[in-house]
């Protein structure tokens, strides 16, 4: 493909991925306004996000397989058209039920983007180094969208209303659709059977539904509640059934042979750990800024600008190291740098200014972005080209599950740490003048100190997880990565 058009393809899929992931984050900012308009509770409103997450997680592997078999451009366009239509429906939703249904449709459509986009880039960029750079920039866009959600959504919500965050998707989506029609060329995997693994897809979908549901709702229900226990059991049963089906399926929706490839497995493991800690703790930053620093949605969004810049810059830099430094070392040191940022957040304080938050966020995004190209390239390079769509779907699935798992785990850590801190601080605090006003202030100060200490505990725990998880990167090694001339062998 002509050099110019290769990079237009990259720009096209970056735009599409950015738009789809942006919507996933910006809607969370709109929830308070939606709650007021629909007169619903916070717990009920959580289903607006849960519905999207469930649909997205369930259908990613299915779209990845369909793209390899039926045509990646075709599936990409179907998903894009569905996203535009669903966004319009969400914008005119009239109650909670209609919104949840439309969000399911939106999540279903968006889930077609990630596996097909990665496969499109893998077949477009045949040069190993260029492919790594392209995949790195594209993966960074995935994360940058999470950063720009508050930045773009805040002004829309503050100056218009929550419906604007859905309406804006329509003109942007049309632009993305035009770019896809113009620049993306059709590609499929090597011709295989037209049979589709519906039984495997159904079992995997049921397992993912149960797992994602309990991760998203477990804290509200209680991790040992009847609903959670049923979800655990359903996940184990359907996942076991899925594995049995795939072992006997001629065209499995997920080729279990992938998991015999060490580079593939350890890359997924490192990705899971990094995204679990990142998503599980970083989602607290906007909450902290708005709750304790008094920022509005727009000002909170500004905190994320340096993070976006460092993430994209680090991804480009990391991509240029392909062929010069072994991927495992780039990922290892990038993960180490990210862990340092989380420990910096361990001193989080209500007296912090914007710069005190921006600096560790920038360090963290640089570390994560530095290994972004390598993680994505390893997954694309360690499987046959005809199965890149399936492999990328697994990577997307791991990221989604890791994010849900991280939010569930670290939200629980925050609650437990806050409760423990309340008792510890209260036992060591004294009030000499007792009257209703002073007593109320005394309780408020204890709660404030306990909550802030709870946030610090979350970031320290995330830092420890990432620091330990960084060593999984050293287990990653692609067969073609040898000590070629000019390559830096840092530990060998």
Mean of pLDDT values over 31-58: 79
In a shared domain, residues 301 and 440: yes
For residue 100, what are its two tokens?
A: 């949840």
Query: Please, which residues have CB within 8 angstroms of residue 292's CB and are 6 or more apart in sequence?
Result: 350, 448, 451, 452
Mean of pLDDT values over 418-444: 64
Task: Tell me if 442 is assigned to some domain.
Answer: yes
- Tokens 């062929």, residue located: 323
Q: How many percent of the chain have pLDDT more than 70?
A: 87
pLDDT for the residue 433: 62
Paired residues of 302 in beta bridges: none
Instruction: Check: CB of residue 89 under 8 Å from CB of residue 163.
Output: no
3-state helix, strand, coil in the chain (%, to 5): 80, 0, 20
Task: Tell me if 256 is assigned to some domain.
Answer: no
- Chain-centroid distance of CA 11 in Å reads 20
Residue 58 has pLDDT above 70, yes or no: yes
CA 49 to CA 25: how far, in whole Å?
9
Task: Tell me if 255 is assigned to some domain.
Answer: no
In a shared domain, residues 61 and 183: yes
pLDDT for the residue 318: 82
Which pLDDT tens digit goes with each residue over 353-398?
A: 889 999 998 998 889 888 877 787 787 777 777 777 777 778 877 8
Which pLDDT tens digit goes with each residue over 264-298?
A: 888 888 888 888 887 777 777 877 887 788 887 67
pLDDT for the residue 103: 92
CA 380 to CA 396: how far, in whole Å?
12
CB atoms inside a 10 Å sphere around CB 178:
11
In a shared domain, residues 191 and 283: no
In a shared domain, residues 318 and 439: yes
Instruction: Check: CB of residue 261 under 8 Å from CB of residue 383.
Output: yes
State the residue range of the domain holding 201: 197-250
Which pLDDT tens digit goes with each residue over 71-94?
A: 888 899 999 999 999 999 999 999
In a shared domain, residues 302 and 390: yes
For residue 237, what are its two tokens?
A: 């049963």
In a shared domain, residues 221 and 346: no
In a shared domain, residues 266 and 180: no
Task: Tell me if 485 is assigned to some domain.
Answer: yes
In a shared domain, residues 60 and 184: yes
In a shared domain, residues 118 and 237: no
CATH number at residue 410: 1.20.1250.20
DSSP string covering 239-299, please?
HHHHHHHHHH-SS-SS-GGGGG-HHHHHHHHHHHHHHHHHHHHHTHHHHHHHHHS---HHH
Residue 35: band (very low, low, confident or very high) from pLDDT cuts 50, 70, 90? confident
Residue 224 has pLDDT above 90, yes or no: no
Q: Which of 157, 23, 141, 148 is nearest to 79 (CA)?
A: 23
CA 389 to CA 387: how far, in whole Å?
5
In a shared domain, residues 37 and 109: yes
For residue 116, what are its two tokens?
A: 């097909």
Q: Does 405 or 146 have the greater pLDDT score?
A: 405
In a shared domain, residues 22 and 99: yes
pLDDT for the residue 321: 81
Task: Tell me if 411 is assigned to some domain.
Answer: yes
pLDDT for the residue 423: 65
Q: Does 55 or 441 have the greater pLDDT score?
A: 55
In a shared domain, residues 192 and 203: no
3-state class of 191 per DSSP?
coil
Q: How many domains does the chain have?
A: 3
pLDDT for the residue 395: 80
The listed range with the strongest mean pLDDT (94-103, 145-154, 293-302, 385-394) is: 94-103
For residue 366, what are its two tokens?
A: 């640089």
Q: Where among 208, 229, 250 does a domain terminate?
A: 250
Residue 492 has pLDDT above 50, yes or no: no
Paired residues of 325 in beta bridges: 488
Q: How many percent of the chain have pLDDT more than 90?
A: 15
pTM for the model: 0.73
Task: Tell me if 320 is assigned to some domain.
Answer: yes
Q: Does 24 or 343 have the greater pLDDT score?
A: 343
What does pLDDT average to over the chain? 80
Mean of pLDDT values over 332-361: 90
CA 426 to CA 448: how far, in whole Å?
12
Lowest mean pLDDT among 71-85, 307-321, 475-489: 475-489
DSSP string covering 43-58, please?
HHHHHHHHHHHHHHHH
Residue 1: band (very low, low, confident or very high) from pLDDT cuts 50, 70, 90? low
Q: Does 434 or 457 have the greater pLDDT score?
A: 457
CA 233 to CA 206: how far, in whole Å?
11
184 secondary structure, DSSP code: P
pLDDT for the residue 483: 47
CA 168 to CA 150: how far, in whole Å?
15
Mean of pLDDT values over 10-27: 82
Instruction: Check: CB of residue 425 under 8 Å from CB of residue 443.
Output: no
Lowest mean pLDDT among 106-110, 294-298, 433-437: 433-437
Residue 435 has pLDDT above 50, yes or no: yes
């Amino acid at each position: 493909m002509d050099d110019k058009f290769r990079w237009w393809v990259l720009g096209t899929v970056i735009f599409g991925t950015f738009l789809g992931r942006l919507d996933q984050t910006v809607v969370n900012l709109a929830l308070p306004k939606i709650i007021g308009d629909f007169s619903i509770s916070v717990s009920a409103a959580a289903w607006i996000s849960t519905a999207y997450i469930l649909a997205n997680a369930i259908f990613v592997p299915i779209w990845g397989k369909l793209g390899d078999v039926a045509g990646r451009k075709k599936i990409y366009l179907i998903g894009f058209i569905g996203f535009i239509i669903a966004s319009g429906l969400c914008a005119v939703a009239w109650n909670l039920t209609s919104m949840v249904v439309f969000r399911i449709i939106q999540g279903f459509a968006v889930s077609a983007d990630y596996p097909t986009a990665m496969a499109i880039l893998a077949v477009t960029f045949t040069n190993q180094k260029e492919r790594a750079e392209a995949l790195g920039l594209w993966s960074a866009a995935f994360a940058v969208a999470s950063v720009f959600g508050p930045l773009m959504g805040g002004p829309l919500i503050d100056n218009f209303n929550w419906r604007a965050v859905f309406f804006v998707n329509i003109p942007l989506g049309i632009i993305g659709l035009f770019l896809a029609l113009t620049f993306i060329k059709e590609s499929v995997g090597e011709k295989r059977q037209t049979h589709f693994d519906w039984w495997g897809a159904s079992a995997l979908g049921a397992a993912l539904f149960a797992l994602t549901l309990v991760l998203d709702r477990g804290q509200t229900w209680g991790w040992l509640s009847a609903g959670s226990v049923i979800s655990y059991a359903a996940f184990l049963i359907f996942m076991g059934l899925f594995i049995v089906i795939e072992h006997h399926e001629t065209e499995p929706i997920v080729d279990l042979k992938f998991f015999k490839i060490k580079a593939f497995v350890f890359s997924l493991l490192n990705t899971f750990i990094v995204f679990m800690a990142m998503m599980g703790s970083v989602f607290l930053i906007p909450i902290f800024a708005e709750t304790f620093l008094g920022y509005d949605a727009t000002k909170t969004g500004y905190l994320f600008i340096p993070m976006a810049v460092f993430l994209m810059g680090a991804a480009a830099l990391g991509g240029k190291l392909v062929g010069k430094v072994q991927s495992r070392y780039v990922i290892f040191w990038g993960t180490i740098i990210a862990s340092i940022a989380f420990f910096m957040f361990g001193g989080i304080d209500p007296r912090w200014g914007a710069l005190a938050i921006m600096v560790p966020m920038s360090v963290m995004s640089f570390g994560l972005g530095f290994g972004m190209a390598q993680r994505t390239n390893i997954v694309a390079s360690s499987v046959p080209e005809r199965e890149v769509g399936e492999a990328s779907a697994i990577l997307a699935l791991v990221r989604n599950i890791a994010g849900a798992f991280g939010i569930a785990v670290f939200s629980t850590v925050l609650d437990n740490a806050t409760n423990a801190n309340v008792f510890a601080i209260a036992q060591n605090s004294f009030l000499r003048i007792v009257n209703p006003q002073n007593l109320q202030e005394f309780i408020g100060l204890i709660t404030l100190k306990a909550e802030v200490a709870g946030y610090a505990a979350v970031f320290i725990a995330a830092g420890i997880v990432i620091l330990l998880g960084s060593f999984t990167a050293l287990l990653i090694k692609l067969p073609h990565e040898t000590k070629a001339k000019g390559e830096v062998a840092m530990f060998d």
